Amino acid sequence: MKVSALAKSLVLSEIIKIAGEVNEMKAKGIKVANLTIGDFDPQIFPIPAQLEKNIVAAYADKQTNYPPADGVLALRESVSSFIKTRQGLNYATNEILISGGSRPLIYATYLALLDPGDKVIYPAPSWNNNHYVHLLSANGVAVPTLPENNFMPTAADLKPHVKGATLLALCSPLNPTGTMFSAKGLKEICELVLEENKSRSAQEKPLYILYDQIYSQLTFGDHQHVDPVSLVPAMRDYTIFIDGGSKCFAATGVRVGWGFGPLNIIGKMKAIIGHMGAWSPKAEQVATAKFLNDTTSVDTFLAAFKAKIKKSLDTLYEGLMTLQTEGFAIEAIPPMGAIYLTIKIDYVGKTTPNGEVLDTPAKLNFYLIKEANIAFVPFSAFGTEDMCWYRASVGACSAADIENKIPQIRTALNKLK
């Protein structure tokens, strides 16, 4: 069958490939700790009880017709209040756009700003930017980041690439690492963007920041989420925020995302989302609007949810650090935010008992899936090659499940030569 050149050139997600292996093992009755997907097992991390009640009530109230193209007004009002209360950000309802989760908003941002060949800068590792670049025939520049900077890009990293760029795609807390920008680090990047934009003529496109803060409510300890506009108000004209309830309320399947930014860009994104039909279901919008206005329910849920997520992250981190003290070539960055832990398992090049050389991070990962019954995602899935670093996502496993797998990791690694 003949298909488009674009369709023929699409690359399957490495995460989906790993998930297929895990699902095959589960079908055989093998208990695998699946730390691959940025999702939640609702048996372990259910959505807020009050949000669930609101959704049921909205369907009972027959809220099942098309929503407005930019989202139900009550939800845009509640989002406006939510981001003002939580971050001090002031955006009117016509500067806010609702969609079926955050992915359509990211894609719409790309579509609204980029022409074929336009330059997009993004850090490596990062989630899915390489695929969006490919879909738009843009010129993607993956900027390598360093573990000593927690894999967050710095202004110095980005400076050689900003000339002529149209979009800088950033995320904090970052998928896949769970690490975050410091106020100083992000402010320096914002100042770099403003300096670049001042050098451009009125006929040139500015350099915009796509700022994905879908994990902004999931931060731990002394780590505080920061954003471009709060740090540098002049960035308001150049920042498109991506946000929503998918991660902070364990509501990935509820499909309520919100974006906000400059009115003219949000207006174009509204048209794009409308033509895609990528609206969030109306009943879920009505329910989420009511929930966001219920500050007590939101705060109560977030406190318990964050504590449970942190317990899982800490359990994995502490277990891996125990292996490190025993002499295993393992490193990890302490939990900061999101649902991810960044870990290094430095055993690429080792040989299995049956003589197979684990010459790539992916092969090592599949070895651990089979021998230790635990699955990670190598950073190669996020645009960073030839590294022994992996993403571990704790949304689909309990702390007890994770703790039980540490001895199996020890046994599997001990078998390698």
Which residues make beta-bridge pairs with 211? 170, 241
Mean of pLDDT over the chain? 96
Can you give the pLDDT at residue 25? 86
Can you give the pLDDT at residue 19? 80
CB 307 within 8 A of CB 135: no
Average pLDDT over residues 12-41: 86
342 token code pair: 């960044």
Farthest CA pair distance, the chain? 64
Can you give the pLDDT at residue 1? 67
The answer to whether 5-45+299-414 and 49-294 have equal CATH topology is no
Can you give the pLDDT at residue 288? 98
Torsion angle of the four alpha carbons 79, 219, 15, 370, in this order, in degrees rounded to the nearest 10: -150
Helix (H) or strand (E) run with residue 107 in it: helix 103-113
Provide the pLDDT confidence category of residue 384 given band limits of 50, 70 and 90.
confident
pLDDT digits (tens, 9 = 90+) for 289-310: 999 999 999 999 999 999 999 9
CB 95 within 8 A of CB 239: no
Pairing of strands 208-212, 165-171: parallel
Query: H helices of 178-257, where?
Result: 183-198, 228-231
Q: Which residue ranges make up each domain of the chain?
A: 5-45+299-414, 49-294
pLDDT digits (tens, 9 = 90+) for 385-398: 767 999 999 999 99
Residue 14 pLDDT exceeds 90: no
pLDDT digits (tens, 9 = 90+) for 124-180: 999 999 999 999 999 999 999 999 999 999 999 999 999 999 999 999 999 999 999
Percent above pLDDT 90 for the chain: 91
162 token code pair: 């900003």
275 contact partners, CB below 8 Å, separation of at least 6: none
Q: Which fold has domain 5-45+299-414?
A: Aspartate Aminotransferase, domain 1 (3.90.1150)
**Radius of gyration, alpha carbons of the chain:** 22
pLDDT digits (tens, 9 = 90+) for 77-110: 999 999 999 999 999 999 999 999 999 999 999 9
Average pLDDT over residues 325-344: 98
Give me the CATH code for the 49-294 domain, please. 3.40.640.10
298 contact partners, CB below 8 Å, separation of at least 6: 48, 291, 292
Can you give the pLDDT at residue 90? 98
pLDDT digits (tens, 9 = 90+) for 164-220: 999 999 999 999 999 999 999 999 999 999 999 999 999 999 999 999 999 999 999
CA distance 404 to 382: 28
**Higher-scoring residue by pLDDT: 16, 349:** 349
CA distance 232 to 68: 32
CA distance 374 to 279: 36
Residue 12 pLDDT exceeds 80: no
